[in-house]
Amino acid sequence: MKLFTRRRRARRMEKELGTGLWRQAHDRYVRGLDRYHQILEGVEDDQLHNQLVLIGDELAEQLPTVYDLCRTAHEVYPAEGMQVPGGAANRLHSCLSRAANHLATTAEAAAMARLQHGTVEAVRRRADQVMSCLQDAEAALAGE
């Protein structure tokens, strides 16, 4: 990515997500996703690799949703620091935080499967938890 493209993107993200709580929530998801994909690089079994790639693709497809949730949250509940504004923002932040945590455990489960100490089913279960948390976050933002 070119230098100016990166700078422009960084400024846009700062404007849309802020520099605090909601940016952190987005970045935690991105780091978990990066970690998951790093683990895929070491998978030697083709069948396992293909199954884990499909799960990784599903998780990556959620990145625009995470971005939109964080962008909207910053508009509705602005927070430049790490203090959760309270009320409905608390539930939303909790859901986003849990999604990032479950993504980290999904990466961990993938690493265990890669080492033949875990199963694809365990990875799938954890990925489903990520999806569930994101659905809960959408519901929290909608006020349900």
Counting the structural domains of the chain, the total is 1
Stretch 132-143: mean pLDDT = 94
Residue type, 28: R
> Which of helix, strand or coil describes residue 5?
helix
**pLDDT > 80? residue 4:** no
User: What pLDDT was estimated at residue 1?
Assistant: 55
| % of the chain surpassing 70 pLDDT | 92
Number of helices followed by number of strands (H, E) in the chain? 6, 0
How far is it, in rounded angstroms, from Cα 33 to Cα 29?
6
Instruction: Enter the pTM of the model.
Output: 0.89
Please tell me the predicted confidence (pLDDT) of residue 79: 78
C-alpha span between 35 and 29 (Å, rounded): 10
List of residues 6+ apart from 32 with CB closer than 8 A? 100, 103, 104, 106, 107
In terms of residue numbers, what domain contains 123?
Answer: 3-142
**pLDDT of 15 higher than 80:** no
Q: Which residues contact 23 (CB under 8 A, 6 or more apart)?
A: 13, 14, 17, 70, 74
Residues 6+ apart with CB under 8 A from 140: 88, 91, 92, 95
Q: Which tokens sit at 59?
A: 């998780």
Which pLDDT value is given to residue 85? 79
Condensed to tens digits (0 to 9), the pLDDT of residues 29-54 reads 999 999 999 999 989 999 999 999 99
Instruction: Place 66 in a pLDDT band, splitting at 50, 70 and 90.
Output: very high
* pLDDT (mean) for 46-72: 97
